[in-house]
Amino acid sequence: MNFENSNSRRNFLKNAGGISIGMAGFSAVAGNVSPENEDRKTPGKLFTTEFSGIKDRIERVKIATLGMQRYDWEQGVVAQAFLEMGELDLAISLARGAILRQEKGRFSVLKGNGPISDCSSIGEVVLFAARQTGDPIFQKGADEMLEVIKTTNHKTSDGIIYHTQEPQKGLWSDFTYMLPPFLAAAGLFQEAMKQIAGYRKYLYNEKDELYSHMWDDDKKLLNRADYWGVGNGWSAAGMTRVLKMLPDSMTEERKLLIGYIRDVIDGCLKYLRPDGMFHNVINKSETFPEVNLSQMLCYSIFRGVASGYLDDSYLKPAGIMRKAANDQVDKLGYVHNVCGLPNFDRPYFAPEGQAFCLLMETAADDLATVKK
């Protein structure tokens, strides 16, 4: 999608009349606001009635998302959601907010919390803001963040940057969404691929087709071998973003990355529950069910089918997952039962759960446009 030249997401959210999006047996229809819902046009009345359709639900999710406090990676994924939706003013505003809290080159630092990877998560949006506005503050900020990445010694002996903040030497499956897309957006495609392949080397289990959550490079072992669902979702969605930016001329790299994306999606889908959710640790039924992995996989699948590297057979489970996620949205716009803040050890709420609801629906709409 060419964000500079497209207003399709903005039109979808703000100007839609009757839009029908059917996906693998699930249909969501946005109609005109009914007379009994006219009062929501009055400020402060949006949340007093039930949804009138998909447009209304997404608008409420967006507003709830804006109201949530955010750390660095949360600022990044929310900004990315607004960028892909076509909510460009909001995306640029969040990029500027990240620069206002830029310290020693790192975006979005709050009270000293500034791991290189998470701080990089908003990088693609910052680069977009630089192009869109011409304001030098954005390019300067991006250049300073890239310099941190290029010069850091906080990495493994084979050059893979740690996900955790100095001095901890940890590789986490979250990383693939945070830093490689910024590298790709900056044109550093080979480095993005190197980092993705490095994380696969340390965390990916070929037999189970899933990523363990954490590697401790001091102890040279998996200190959390569990297949954390959202960590696998971060991996799938991050690689999906990088693939979209890789030049067509990088034939072998694209083929490799498509294989990586398909591997982790297939590994996850083996554990899809009948209700469209996953257990927090994917293969451990004693852990709580949650719906953010469902949203993350929907996003990755819809993008893959739209681009032609995943076939339509993936749309059946995606339809089940999408319905499960939408069923969790309350009338205030909050997505319930995602792996939740602050410690991601319970089913609750989280900015990333909000963002991936928006990303999922944006990808679904893009796919519906392709399929017309």
4 against 270, higher pLDDT? 270
Q: Chain-wide mean pLDDT for the chain?
A: 91
pLDDT tens profile 38-66: 555 677 777 888 888 999 999 999 999 99
Q: Spell out the alpha helix ranges (H) of 270-309.
A: 292-307
- Average pLDDT in the 104-115 region? 95
Decide if 208 contacts 264 (C-beta within 8 A).
no
Residues 331/49, Cβ–Cβ less than 8 Å: yes
The residue whose two tokens read 């554990």 is: 271
Q: How far is CA 365 from CA 12, 53, 94, 239, 249, in A?
A: 8, 14, 23, 20, 28
Q: Residue 306 has which token pair?
A: 């739209």
This prediction's pTM: 0.89
Please tell me which residue, 54 or 26, carries the higher pLDDT value: 54
Place of tokens 């507003």: 63
- What are the tokens at 370? 């392709």
* CA atoms of 359 and 317, how far apart (whole Å): 17
Residue 220 and residue 202: Cα distance in Å, rounded? 10
Instruction: Check pLDDT > 70 for residue 333.
Output: yes
Three-state SS at 347 = strand
d(CA 229, CA 208): 13
Can you give the pLDDT at residue 7? 46
Rounded average pLDDT over 3-32: 40
Query: What is d(CA 200, CA 279) in angstroms, rounded to the nearest whole number?
Result: 22
The reported pLDDT for the residue numbered 22 is: 39
Tens of pLDDT, residue by residue over 198-219, are 999 999 999 999 999 999 999 9
Tell me the mean pLDDT in the region 319-343. Answer: 97
CA 320 – CA 139 distance, rounded (Å): 41
Q: Angle of helix 351-371 relative to helix 72-85, nearest 10 degrees?
A: 20
Mean pLDDT, residues 230-253 = 98
pLDDT of 29 higher than 70: no
Cα–Cα dist 83/69, whole Å: 19
Give the whole-angstrom CA distance, residue 106 versus residue 226. 30
Tell me the pLDDT tens digit for each residue of 142-184: 999 999 999 999 999 999 999 999 999 999 999 999 999 999 9
For residue 36, what are its two tokens? 């009994």
CATH topology for 3-371 is Glycosyltransferase (1.50.10)
